Amino acid sequence: MKAVVVTDFGAQPEFVDLPTPEPGAGEILVRVHAAGVNPFDWKVTDGALKDSVEHTFPLVMGSDGAGVVERTGPGVTRFRPGDRVYGQFMRLPHGHGSYAEYTVAEQDGNIALIPQALPFTLAAALPTASVTAYQAVQAARVESGHTLLINGASGGVGQSAIQFAARAGARVLATGTSDLADHLRDLGAHHVIDFTQAPTHEQVAAAYPEGIDAVIDLVTPTGGDINPMAELLRAGSTLVSTNYATDPDALAARDILGVNLGNRPTVETLTTLAELAAAGELRVRIDAEVPLADAPAIVARARAGHATGKTVIVP
């Protein structure tokens, strides 16, 4: 099969031929129809989990994918050949990922059935970004009438988070450049903050001097200074970081709940999101659909930023 792999931490992705994997006991072989691209994909190949998880090289890149069950291994009861499925397929100890024509998953892994109405490309765009958005909005304790800032709202996680927060009844402040403002408002943002015109925290502080109820920060890197976001918050509020940038103890001293969120997909959450997307109630903007052979170039481009939605690889 064709696949995109790295041969070591920090190595450039390569488009190669690999043997098609065989499903073992409790595993399914999935013919990948679409693979979603996430910053996590290259953070992992750069070595983010080097010290905590075993990796096997060559390592097929990618987590998110959607496709059809081709074969099942012994003992598989949850899936049958022909099932349309999606979820997270990154299995670092086995060298498996979603940027490939085929991948192997555990039947008990983060894999769910998808409705017939949900196209593979849309399904593949959901697992990491939309599960993170869904769980970030829950973690932010958003309630009707709350004012919430989503910092980094123009990307994959942010666009879904706008929709979940707006549906919860929040007043959503979303960062984005002027070319995206109409789109972000259409998703549910009440106020779009152009972070290229003036620092986001200055704009929000000027508009909400009494403080806001929650921030979901998708921008501040691990070890970065998230204090300007914390200073926007009133007592009893919540600061959620997807990059482990908050110090919950320091925030607790200011009566702010700090949450470092790692997404934890469950089959139930994946099923809910697939149903919402199939019904058009969760919208995902697809920036580009690219062939597998172009994935190395796409990863290089995506690393440079400027996501305005999701990129999907179509093997």
Ligand X SMILES: NC(=O)c1ccc[n+]([C@@H]2O[C@H](COP(=O)([O-])OP(=O)(O)OC[C@H]3O[C@@H](n4cnc5c(N)ncnc54)[C@H](OP(=O)(O)O)[C@@H]3O)[C@@H](O)[C@H]2O)c1
Binding residues for ligand X, per CB under 6 A?
Answer: 38-40, 43, 128-129, 132, 151-152, 154-158, 175, 195, 200, 218-219, 242-243, 261-263, 305-307
- Measured between alpha carbons, how far is 79 from 280 in angstroms, rounded to an integer? 26
What tokens were used for 247?
Answer: 């110090």
- Measured between alpha carbons, how far is 25 from 111 in angstroms, rounded to an integer? 16
Number of Cβ atoms within 10 Å of the Cβ of 307: 22
Of 25 and 207, the one with the shorter C-beta distance to ligand X is: 207
User: Rounded to 5 degrees, what are φ and ψ at 153?
Assistant: -70, -15
Of 62 and 156, the one with the shorter C-beta distance to ligand X is: 156
Q: What's the min distance (Å) between Cβ of 231 and ligand X?
A: 16
Burial class (CB in 10 A: 0-12, 13-18, 19+), 236: exposed
Q: What's the min distance (Å) between Cβ of 242 and ligand X?
A: 4
Of 23 and 39, the one with the shorter C-beta distance to ligand X is: 39
Q: What's the min distance (Å) between Cβ of 308 and ligand X?
A: 6
Q: What's the min distance (Å) between Cβ of 176 and ligand X?
A: 7
- Measured between alpha carbons, how far is 91 from 74 in angstroms, rounded to an integer? 19
**DSSP per-residue codes, 158-216:** HHHHHHHHHHTT-EEEEE--GGGHHHHHHHT-SEEE-TTTS-HHHHHHHH-TT-EEEEE
Q: Which residue is nearest to ligand X (CB)?
A: 155
Of 128 and 269, the one with the shorter C-beta distance to ligand X is: 128
Q: Which of 83, 74, 239 is nearest to 150 (CA)?
A: 239
Q: What's the min distance (Å) between Cβ of 146 and ligand X?
A: 20
Of 72 and 98, the one with the shorter C-beta distance to ligand X is: 98
Of 239 and 307, the one with the shorter C-beta distance to ligand X is: 307
Residue type, 200: T
Residues contacting 102, CB < 8 A, separation 6+: 1, 20, 21, 29, 30, 31, 32, 70
Of 149 and 256, the one with the shorter C-beta distance to ligand X is: 149
Q: What's the min distance (Å) between Cβ of 33 and ligand X?
A: 21
Q: What's the min distance (Å) between Cβ of 119 and ligand X?
A: 20
- Helices (H) and strands (E) counted in the chain, each on its own, are 10, 16
- Give, rounded to a whole angstrom, the gap between the first and last alpha carbons of the chain: 10
Of 253 and 304, the one with the shorter C-beta distance to ligand X is: 304
Q: What's the min distance (Å) between Cβ of 189 and ligand X?
A: 13
- The continuous run of DSSP H or E covering 236 comes out as strand 233-241
